[in-house]
Each structure stands twice: as structure tokens, then as C-alpha cells.
Amino acid sequence: MQLFYAPEITLPLHTLTEEESKHCVRVLRLGVGDALHLTDGQGSLYHGRIADDHPKRCVVEITRVEEQFEPLPYRLVMAVAPTKNNDRYEWFLEKATEIGVTTFIPLESDHSERRIFKAERSEKVITAAMKQSLKAYRPQLRPLTPFHTLMQQPFDGRKFIAHCDEALSPHGKTYLASTLQRGEAALILIGPEGDFSKEEVAEAVKAGFEEITLGTQRLRTETAAVVAVTMVAVVNNQ
């Protein structure tokens, strides 16, 4: 299946963007009559056939629509501090999109080494991963959000913070995969290379976040984030 992203799709005929048209006609070598699929990123999967294979404005005739195509059976928000090396953060966005995430929140914390986040390239990485993994739901990417601001935002689900220091809670840290239940909505915080500050951990615990561990291995920021996403998927049998 060849999947194209069309957030503002028109029916019954839709013209692909110049970039998507070039990929469709020049790279994939699709022509008039060939079948392809489009998604608006909101869960709709459109079946279509090429009506005009112009390499700059390829026209697709929509023949059938599937609503709510393979939705995630859970809601997962990953609030992860951008890494100093931007490639590593983009790797996380790509892999997490493939595995299954609802929303990404680039998180600015006390020890952050990168405090400027340019979303344009990250948006492209997410879109490409969505298309490659044949998903009809595109994760939302929020703006860079200060830690203290996120603490004040409501969340209808369980909230977790992963960190490397000793636990502040009397019952200690809980292994994420053993505490999360199938179908539960989750917000997971992953800190920067220098981890969260003690003050941030205390603030999170006060705000109702549960302290978690992802195992005994010491992980990079982007690796820890992908491990957390994978754990949630496994719990939900994805």
C-alpha cells in the first residue's frame, strides 16, 4: 500500500502537493489508473486511483473512505526534553510514531541543553514515519513547553516521571510495564541528558506524577523515551 498525507483532502478529486506528486509519479512511477491511499492524519483512510499523473499536480479520484482506520487503543502523551544532538531527538520522533503515540511535547527543564526547538523539520519526520508505517492517525507535536507550565496543565489519565535519582515517594519507583494497565491514558516525562532536577521531581510528585523506572540499565534520553513507548505498546498488546 502506498500512503500519502493530505490533511486538507477534497472529494471526489484531490490534487496532491507538488512534493507528493513528484514522489508519486517520478519516484514510485505510478500512473493513470494505479491505486493508492491517502490519509488526513485524523483517522480517515481514503482509497483512490490516479486520474492525472502530472508530476507536479497529480490528481487522485477517491473511490472509498474508511473512517477510524486502526486507531490506537490507548492515549499516550510523551513529554521529552530535546537532546543536544537534534538527530537523536528526530530518531525518537520517528520510532515513537511507528510504535504508537498520540502527542509529543518537547519539554524544557532545568538541565536542558537545547532550549530552542524548531518544529518544521520534526513535523516532516513525524509525517514521513506515519506514512512509512501506514498509519491513518498522525501524532500531534506541541510547541516547546516549560516544565513548570506542563505541571499546571490538566491531564485525564495517569501521569509518570522517569528519573535516575532516589525516589521521593515512600513506596519508591514502580516499573512502568508492571503498573500501567491496558487501555489507560498515560503522560510520561523523560528528562534531558542531565536528568530532571530534584526540584522538578518534587514538583511533579506534588502534582500527582508517579515515579517510575524503565529498568536497571542507564539509558540516553531518546533511548529511554523509545523504551517507554514500547512498554506502553506491549502492555496494550500492540
Q: What is the CATH number of the domain that holds 58?
A: 2.40.240.20
Is 188 within the bounds of a domain?
yes
Together in a domain, 125 and 38:
no
For residue range 119-174, list pLDDT tens digits in order.
999 999 999 999 999 999 999 999 999 999 999 999 999 999 999 999 888 888 99
Beta strands in 151-200 (DSSP E): 158-162, 174-175, 186-190
Which of 29, 47, 66 lies at the terminal end of a domain, its last residue?
66
Q: Predicted confidence band at 102 (pLDDT cuts at 50, 70, 90)? A: very high
166 lies in some domain: yes
CA distance 176 to 209: 12
Instruction: Give the pLDDT score at 170.
Output: 86
Residue 22's Cβ-count burial label (10 Å; 0-12, 13-18, 19+) is middle
Number of domains comprising the chain? 2
Q: Which domain holds residue 36?
A: 3-66
Give residue-wise pLDDT tens across range 17-65.
999 999 999 999 999 999 999 999 999 999 999 999 999 999 999 999 9
Question: Do residue 198 and residue 152 come from a single domain?
Answer: yes
Instruction: Please check whether residue 71 lies inside any domain of the structure.
Output: no
> What pLDDT sits at residue 78?
98
pLDDT of residue 116: 86
Residues 66 and 44 sit within 8 Å (Cβ to Cβ) = yes
- Model confidence at 114, in pLDDT bands (50, 70, 90)? confident
Q: Look at residues 66, 86, 111 and tell me which one is the last residue of a structural domain.
A: 66
Residues 107 and 200 in one domain: yes
Q: Is residue 56 part of a domain?
A: yes
Same domain for 121 and 212?
yes
Same domain, 32 and 135: no
40 with 62, same domain: the answer is: yes
Task: Tell me what pLDDT residue 224 has.
Answer: 97
- Please report which helix (H) or strand (E) contains residue 165, including its range: none
**Which pLDDT score is estimated for 171?**
84
For residue 84, give the CATH number of its domain: 3.40.1280.10
225 with 112, same domain: the answer is yes
Q: Tell whether 214 and 155 lie within a shared domain.
A: yes
pLDDT in tens, 187-206: 999 999 999 999 999 999 99
Q: In whole angstroms, what is the distance from residue 150 CA to residue 77 CA? A: 12
